[in-house]
Amino acid sequence: MERIPILQMGPFLLVTIQVDMHDQLALTLQDDLSERISKTSARGVLIDISALDMVDSFIGRMIGTISGLSKIMDAQTVLVGMQPAVAITLVELGLTLPGVSTALNVERGMKLLQDRVIEQ
């Protein structure tokens, strides 16, 4: 079965979405991530969407769900690399991703996660 790889970097999980996802693939990622957070006791999840040239309501919902479920499992989620055209479209679509932390790129996202974990 097709899967999006989840990499572990110390206390964090890193996901880079590089394919045009169909809906089932997005749902599989959601399930895989929750399982990996639980297995690795990860403190943070970084999702890099810089290769995505479109985020529709389905993918937007998946991102919101991942962020919500990781919070419940004591992990932080940061979404990084959103292309400007994607951000404009999302807002117009009516999806503002409330409660989802974002950063411009992977480096800043990692910094954000590290700062938050140290704070705790």
Partner 1 sequence: MTVRSSGTHAIHIEQDVVLARQLARKLATECGIRLIDLTKLVTAVSELARNTMVYGGGGDMDWQIIDENPRTGLRLTFRDEGPGIPDLKLAMTDGWTSGSGLGLGLTGAKRLVDDFEIDTAPGKGTRVTITRWT
| Site residues (vs partner 1, CB under 8 A) | 20-24, 53-58, 60-61, 83-86, 88-89, 92-95
Measured from the CB atom, the residue of 11 and 60 that comes closer to partner 1 is: 60
Cα separation, 116 vs 108, in Å, equals 12
| DSSP class of 20 | -
| DSSP class of 27 | H
Measured from the CB atom, the residue of 40 and 83 that comes closer to partner 1 is: 83
The amino acid that residue 120 corresponds to is: Q
Measured from the CB atom, the residue of 32 and 56 that comes closer to partner 1 is: 56
Q: How far is the CB of 116 from partner 1 (least distance, A)?
A: 27
Cα separation, 70 vs 76, in Å, equals 6
Measured from the CB atom, the residue of 23 and 35 that comes closer to partner 1 is: 23
CA separation (Å) from 29 to 51, 74, 104? 16, 19, 22
Closest CA to 58 of 11, 101, 90: 90
Q: How far is the CB of 35 from partner 1 (least distance, A)?
A: 22
Q: How far is the CB of 21 from partner 1 (least distance, A)?
A: 8
Q: How far is the CB of 101 from partner 1 (least distance, A)?
A: 20
